[in-house]
Amino acid sequence: MERLVKTNLDLIVLRLLKEKPRWGYEINVEIKDQFKVYLSAGTLYPLLHSLEDKGFLEGVWKPEGGRGRRIYKITPKGEEFLEAGERALRRILLRWGK
């Protein structure tokens, strides 16, 4: 399961962000809860920065108490990428089902 999650991590993160904006730690907790896979900061945060550089998500700093959080939300370009990725995965699964 871990390999499958990490291979499709960009789509998983974008799907979570389509549900609602989240900060990095919240994304990691959700992935751990749903898939029983722990992501190190060295895995998750470079991916978030890469997705932001590609225009698939947008991060905004929000002050919270004494420490700020970067809240990420999916962009329209990210939604298009997510939809295309989900279609491709569905096609693969349908072929396996035959």
Residue pLDDT, tens place only, 33-75: 999 999 999 999 999 999 999 999 999 998 877 788 999 999 9
Q: Which residue has the higher pLDDT, 30 or 98?
A: 30
3-state DSSP helix/strand/coil percent for the chain, to nearest 5? Answer: 65, 20, 15
User: Which residues, 6+ apart, have CB-to-CB distance to 81 below 8 Å?
Assistant: 10, 14, 54, 56
Residue 57 β-bridge partners = 74
Q: What is the pTM of this model?
A: 0.90
CATH of region 2-96, choose from 3.40.50.11540, 1.10.10.10, 1.10.3720.10, 2.40.50.140: 1.10.10.10
Identity (one letter) of the amino acid at 13? V
Length of the chain: 98
Tell me the pLDDT of the chain averaged across its residues: 93
Query: Tokens 């998750």 appear where?
Result: 44
pLDDT of 34: 95
DSSP conformational letter for 97? T
Q: Is the dihedral of CA 3, 42, 72, 29 positive or negative?
A: positive
For residues 18 and 84, give the distance between their C-alpha atoms in angstroms, rounded to a whole number: 14
Residue extents of the structural domains in the chain: 2-96
